[in-house]
Amino acid sequence: MGSSHHHHHHGGFSQSCLPNWIMHGKSCYLFSFSGNSWYGSKRHCSQLGAHLLKIDNSKEFEFIESQTSSHRINAFWIGLSRNQSEGPWFWEDGSAFFPNSFQVRNAVPQESLLHNCVWIHGSEVYNQICNTSSYSICEKEL
């Protein structure tokens, strides 16, 4: 689209995703169906040369939602967290979260002091206690 000249391998399309990873836009995504805490999930993604999911725009959110909606029973950790309750949300790369494509909902109406990590459940995104065990989504840029 733009005029940025990236020098990929000669074939042009040798840039693809590993088995089990799903390609969308400029990233590969791995939906992990083994339970882990947010921290364990973060570590797992790093070990794969990836990071917990960062949602950049509503197109990407719709793609993720289309995948997670078919697994309504389970939630998936994404790369959004905060240092303390009521503090601002940050993605893994340190960038601030702006609620344009989705809102982070309160999993517990009143008392969410320890809900400092974020997961997507069906088509909703909730704050949650970080050491809860859940599925996760890793993202790796192409």
pLDDT of 106 above 60:
yes
Give yes or no for a contact between 55 and 102, defined as CB atoms under 8 angstroms apart: yes
Mean pLDDT of the chain: 87
Report the distance separating Cα 99 and Cα 20, nearest Å. Answer: 30
The predicted-structure confidence for 64-103, as pLDDT tens digits, reads as follows: 999 998 887 899 999 999 987 778 899 999 999 988 889 9
Arithmetic mean of pLDDT, 27-44? 96
DSSP code for 20? T
C-alpha distances (whole Å) from 94 to each of 24, 79, 97 are 23, 10, 9
> Percent of the chain at pLDDT above 90?
68
Report the DSSP beta bridge partners of residue 41: none
